[in-house]
Amino acid sequence: MEQRMNDILVSVIMPVYNGEQFIGEAIRSVLRQRVRLELIVINDKSTDGTEDVICSFEQDERLIYIRNEDNLGVAKSRNKGMEMAKGKYIAFLDADDYWTEDKLEKQLSLMEEKKAVLSSAGRQLMDEEGSLGKIIQIPEEITYNSLLRSNVLNTSGVMVLADVARKYPMTQDHLHEDYIMWLSILRDYGKAYGINEPMLKYRVMKGTKSANKLKSAKMTFGVYRYMGLNLFWSCWYFCCYAVKGILKYH
């Protein structure tokens, strides 16, 4: 089993735009993982010193560096990485987050054992300065219906079977494009698995889509409508989302 695990390649996709302040820590956390991997970093036409930080790691042959000629946005950049990925599994990491060194190893073991198509780690919130705070729990199993009630899957914590991921590229980036992807996969494949350990350190940044609560709420309701839920069920699940959201961060 150990030898077989060592033969499995995991592709890590890291889009970045003007991330020079944090991307070094993110890259180091990937390169410390105890699995066979490739790291695909997509520079989405940054205007700061992001490229210099990325190039400081160029001696590591596991790093693949891509520069977008135009600013494509995070969804299209991730899709670009998914198309390039050679691994059996794809994991995502945003450039302002980082992982504990056992994150991919534990997820890979779980997914091989369960023959899972999708899994996620728990996470611990941190502020922009890196001070760690609240731990966000994740259930051991996540179904389509439970995910409608609360999006417990954070993109930087997710690992997904590559062949499945490419069937559901991220679109609708005016909504929560990652949430749509997870819902679409679970609707068709059944369930995902969670490892309830805070192996993802998630930075809460001001001015992001998720940080703007009103905007995020409107986008979540838009996701329900995009997924084909009627007005009644959209309102029902939105109420569940609102209550769980309040409890999550307090």
Q: What is the mean pLDDT of the chain?
A: 92
Per-residue pLDDT at 249 exceeds 70: no
Decide if 171 contacts 160 (C-beta within 8 A).
no
Per-residue pLDDT at 3 exceeds 60: no
Q: What digits encode the pLDDT tens for the residues 160-204?
A: 999 999 999 998 888 889 999 999 999 999 999 999 999 999 999
Distances (CA, A) of 115 to 108, 112, 209: 10, 5, 33
The predicted structure's pLDDT at residue 24:
97
The predicted structure's pLDDT at residue 247:
64
Domain boundary assignment for the chain: 2-248
Confidence band of 243 (pLDDT split at 50, 70, 90): confident
Q: What's the topology of domain 2-248?
A: Spore Coat Polysaccharide Biosynthesis Protein SpsA; Chain A (3.90.550)
The predicted structure's pLDDT at residue 214:
86
Q: What digits encode the pLDDT tens for the residues 65-88?
A: 999 999 999 999 999 999 999 999
The predicted structure's pLDDT at residue 175:
86
CA distance 90 to 12: 6
Per-residue pLDDT at 207 exceeds 90: no
DSSP 130-166: --EEEEEP--SEEEHHHHHH-----GGGEEEEHHHHT
| Mean pLDDT of all residues in 29-51 | 97
Per-residue pLDDT at 210 exceeds 60: no
The predicted structure's pLDDT at residue 36:
97
The predicted structure's pLDDT at residue 2:
52
| Closest to 76 measured CA to CA, from 26, 17, 27 | 17
Q: Which residues contact 145 (CB under 8 A, 6 or more apart)?
A: none
Per-residue pLDDT at 250 exceeds 70: no
Residues found in the chain: 250
Q: What digits encode the pLDDT tens for the residues 127-155?
A: 998 899 999 999 999 999 999 999 999 99
Confidence band of 113 (pLDDT split at 50, 70, 90): very high
Give the global pTM.
0.93
Confidence band of 205 (pLDDT split at 50, 70, 90): confident
- Of the listed ranges 117-121, 193-197, 223-227, 241-245, the least confidently predicted one is 241-245
